[in-house]
Structure 1
Amino acid sequence: MTDPQLCGGRANHSAPWGVSNDTTRPPEACRSVSVAFPLSMMLTGLVGNALAVLLVYRACQKEGNRRKKSFLLCIGSLALTDFSGQLLTSPVVIAMYLANRPWPMVEPSGNLCAFFGLCMTVFGLCPLFIASAMAIERTLAIRAPHWYASHMKTRVTKTVLLGIWLAVFAFALLPIAGIGQYTVQWPGTWCFISTGDNHHLGNTFFASAFAFLGLFSLIITMACNLATIKALMTRCRTKPAASQSSKQWGRITMETLIQLLGIMCVLFACWSPLLIMMLKMIFSCMSVEHCKTSCKTVQSAHLQKECNFFLTAVRLASLNQILDPWVYLLLRKILLRKFCQVANAVSCCPNNGWKGQPITLADEIIQTEA
C-alpha cells in the first residue's frame, strides 16, 4: 500500500473548527511512500517511550532516588507525552494510508482532522517546553545548587509540568474561537495548522505563534544547556588535578557534556527544519492547496520539492518523539562510557577512573549540592 497524495480540488472551509478539506481522489502519479514507514515509526516510538516510562517508575520507587525525583518526573513526563502523541496520531495516519482515499471521503465531518491537528499541536509543543524545563532545571542545579536544594521540590516540578500541559492545550484550542485553522496536509494523510491563508489574521497569528513558540523553546534549551556546560567545565578546571573529586568530576563532566550536546543536536536537527519551513510558508503565502495542484504541472517542480521538504520536516519532528527516550535515558548507561573513553583524549579534566559505575545527571546534582 502506498501513500495517497491529494493533488487537486478546492478547499472546503465550511467544516467545523476551521478545518479545510479536499474532496478530490488522488491520481496514481501522485503516490509515494509505503505504509511501513509510519507503522515502523509508531512501533519504535511506543516501545521506546513505554520502556522509558517503566524505568522511570521503577527508579522513583527506590528510596535512594528521592533527591532525583524532580529530574525523574521531567523525564517520565516527556516519555509519557511522546508515548501519548504516538498512540493518538500514528494509527490515524496508518488508517489513511490503508484507505487510499482522500481524507474527506473517509471522514467528511472534519472532526477527526480537527482532533488530529490539535494532537499534533499539543504533542509538538509539549515535548519542546518540557525539554526547556529540564534544561532550566539542570542549569539551576549546577549554577545555583543551594537555591535549587531549598526551592526545587517535587510539588514545584509537578506544578510546572501541569502548567505546560494546560497552557499548550489551551493554545491548541484556539481554532474553536476562530483563531487559526487545521487543514488536511500534503500528502493527505494528516492534518496540521494552515500556513497559507494570510487573508485571515487569526490564521496567520496561530501558525506564526506555533513556529515562534517552538523556536523560542529551542533557544531556551540551547542557552541553558550551554550555560550548564560552561559551569561544569569551569568547576572542573578549578579542582585540584590529583584529588579524587577531580577524577570524579572529570567523569561527571564528560558524560554530562556528551549527553547535553546530544540533546541539543537531536532537538535542533528534528525541529528547526519544520519551524523554519512553517515561517517560510507563512510569509510566502504557501499552503497545502499549492501542493495539491503542483503535481499536475511540469513547471511546478520546485514547488513540489518544497511540499516534499515540508513533509520530510514533519517526519523529522515526529522522529524526535522516538529519539527522546533514548537520548535522555535509555542509552546513557550503555553508550556514554564508550563515548567518554573516546573523548577523554581531548578532555580538559583528568581522565582517570572511567571504570567506576556511571554517574547520572541526577547524581551530579547531588554532588554539586554536597
Structure 2
Amino acid sequence: MTSADSLKDLQTTVGEMLDSNTTKTLHEGNVANNSSWGSVSIGFSITMMITGLVGNSLALILVYISYRKKENKRKRSFLLCIGSLALIDLFGQLLTSPVVISVYRNGLEWKQLDPSGKLCSFFGVCMTTFGLCALFLASTMAIERAMAITNPHWYSNHMKTRVTKQTLAVILLLVFFFALLPIVGVGKYTLQWPGTWCFINTGDTEVPGNRFFAITFALLGIFSLLVTFSCNVVTIRGLIIRCKTKSGTSQSSKQWERLTTETVIQLLGIMCVLLICWSPLLGLMLRMISTHVSSKECISKDSTSNHISNSDAHFDCDFFLTAIRLASLNQILDPWVYLLLREILLRKFCLVANAVSNCSTEDHKEAQTALKKQKQDLPKSQSS
C-alpha cells in the first residue's frame, strides 16, 4: 500500500468520525430542546388540570348546597344548568388531561401509546363532546335567564326542573352522537401538532364527510356564541329597565339595584370569557378548512426537517395549539364566571362601590351643610 493510499484512508476515517460526532451532537441537542420544551408544556398541562379540578369541584359543592335549600326553588333550573356545566368541564379535564400528560412523559411519541389509533379517536370524541356541550349549556343558561327576566310569569309557571333535566339530556345526547360521526366514517380525528392531542381533521378532503363535519362543528360553535351573546344582551337590557322602574330610597329598591349590578357584571364577564376562549379556535378552523391546511402536516414536516418552508402553515399550527389551549381554559374559567366569582368577588366589589358612594354622598352633604351655615352667618356679620 502506497503512502498516498494510506493518507486517503486516514482522511476517510477522520471524515466519518467527524460526521458521526456532528450527527450525535445535533441529535442530543434536539433531544435536549424537546425535553426542555416538553417539561414546560407538561407543567402547563398539569397546572390546567389541577386548577380545573379544584374550581369545578368547588362549583359542584356550592350548587349542591344551594339546590337543597328550600328558598332556592325558583333557581333550581339555573342551578341544574350550572351543575351540569361544572360536571361536564370536570369530566372533560379528567378524561383528556391525563392522556396529554402521558404523551409528554413518553417523549411526545403518541404512536407508542396508541399504535391502533383508538385512543386518538376517543380523545377526539371527548374534545368535541365536552367542547360543544359547554357552549350549548352556556346558550341554555343565557336563554333561561332571558326568559326569567323578560317574562317572569310565564317562566314561573312553565319552567320546571323536569323540563330542564330533559333539555340537558337532549343536548348531551345530540352532541355525543354528533361527535361519534367520525367513528362511523363521516369525518376523521387525527393527531395534531405537537403530537400530544387529537382533534378534527381540517385539511383532508379525501376522507368522506370530513369537510362537512369540520364546518358543522365550527358553525355550531359560532351559532351557540351568537345565541349566548344575544340572550345576555336582552337580559342586561331587561335588568336595567326593571331597575329604573324600581328606583327609589326603599330597602327593596336598593337590594334590587345591588342584584342588578352583580348580574350585569357577571353577564359581561361571561361574554368576554366566551369570546376570548372560543372565537380564535372557531375562526381559525374555518380558515384552515378553506385553505385545506391541517396541523398534522407540521408533525410530518418537523420530523423530516427543522425548518418548515410554508410559513403560513407553520403559523396556523402554532396558533391552532394556542387556540385549543384557550378553549380548554374555558373549562377552568366557567365555574368562576358563573358561580364562584359572584359568590366571592362581586359581593366585595359591590360593597366597596357602595362604601365609596356613601362616603362621597356624606362628604357632599357635609359640604352643603357648611355652605348653608355660612350663608346664614353672613347677614349677621353684615348687620353688626
Instruction: Provide TM-score, normalisation by structure 2.
Output: 0.80
SS in 1 for 2:190: strand
- Displacement, 1:325? 0.6
Residues 294, 301 of structure 1: 8 Å contact kept? no
Cα distance in 2 between the residues matched to 1:310 and 1:30: 19
Gaps of 5+ in 1: 1-26, 353-370
2:305 corresponds to 1:300? no
Q: Which one of 243, 251, 264 corresponds to residue 244 of structure 1?
A: 251
Please list the CA deviations of residues 15-34 of structure 1 after superposition, one character each: whole Å capped at 9, or x if unmatched.
xxxxxxxxxxxx64667342
What percent of counterpart residues are identical? 62
- Displacement, 1:289? 3.3
Cα distance in 1 between the residues matched to 2:173 and 2:254: 44
Please list the CA deviations of residues 249-300 of structure 1 after superposition, one character each: whole Å capped at 9, or x if unmatched.
2111111100000011011101111111111110110002332245432533
Residues 121, 183 of structure 2: 8 Å contact kept? no
Cα distance in 2 between the residues matched to 1:346 and 1:161: 42
Cα distance in 2 between the residues matched to 1:231 and 1:329: 21
Please list the CA deviations of residues 195-224 of structure 1 after superposition, one character each: whole Å capped at 9, or x if unmatched.
001244500000111111011001100000
Give the corresponding residue for 1:152. 159
Give the corresponding residue for 1:131. 138
Cα distance in 2 between the residues matched to 1:240 and 1:310: 48
Q: Where does 1:257-272 land on structure 2 (aligned, <5 Å)?
A: 257-272=264-279
Residues 113, 184 of structure 1: 8 Å contact kept? yes
- Displacement, 1:346? 12
Cα distance in 1 between the residues matched to 2:96 and 2:247: 53
Give the corresponding residue for 2:323. 313
Cα distance in 2 between the residues matched to 1:156 and 1:103: 43
Give the number of equivalent residue pairs: 323
Give the superposed CA RMSD: 2.2
- Classify 1:92/1:300 alpha carbon distance in 2 versus 1 (closer, same or farther; 3 Å): same
- Displacement, 1:344? 6.8
Cα distance in 1 between the residues matched to 2:250 and 2:300: 68
Greater fraction helix: 2
Please list the CA deviations of residues 113-172 of structure 1 after superposition, one character each: whole Å capped at 9, or x if unmatched.
000000000010001101100000000000010000000000000000001100000000
Give the corresponding residue for 1:337. 347
Give the corresponding residue for 1:100. 107
Gaps of 5+ in 2: 1-29, 362-384
- Classify 1:345/1:224 alpha carbon distance in 2 versus 1 (closer, same or farther; 3 Å): farther
SS in 1 for 2:209: helix
Q: Where does 1:58-97 land on structure 2 (aligned, <5 Å)?
A: 58-97=65-104
- Displacement, 1:63? 2.1
Give the corresponding residue for 1:46. 53
- Classify 1:283/1:302 alpha carbon distance in 2 versus 1 (closer, same or farther; 3 Å): closer
The one-letter code of the counterpart of 1:118 is V
Residues 53, 93 of structure 2: 8 Å contact kept? yes
Give the corresponding residue for 1:23. none
Please list the CA deviations of residues 88-110 of structure 1 after superposition, one character each: whole Å capped at 9, or x if unmatched.
00000000000014212221100
Q: Which one of 172, 183, 198 corresponds to residue 176 of structure 1?
A: 183
SS in 1 for 2:203: coil
Give the corresponding residue for 2:367. none
Structure with greater contact order relative to length (CA < 8 Å, sep ≥ 6): 1
> Rg bigger for which structure?
2
Cα distance in 1 between the residues matched to 2:261 and 2:74: 22
- Displacement, 1:191? 0.5
Residues 198, 282 of structure 1: 8 Å contact kept? no
- Displacement, 1:343? 6.2
Cα distance in 2 between the residues matched to 1:240 and 1:305: 53
Residues 204, 294 of structure 2: 8 Å contact kept? yes
Cα distance in 2 between the residues matched to 1:56 and 1:117: 29
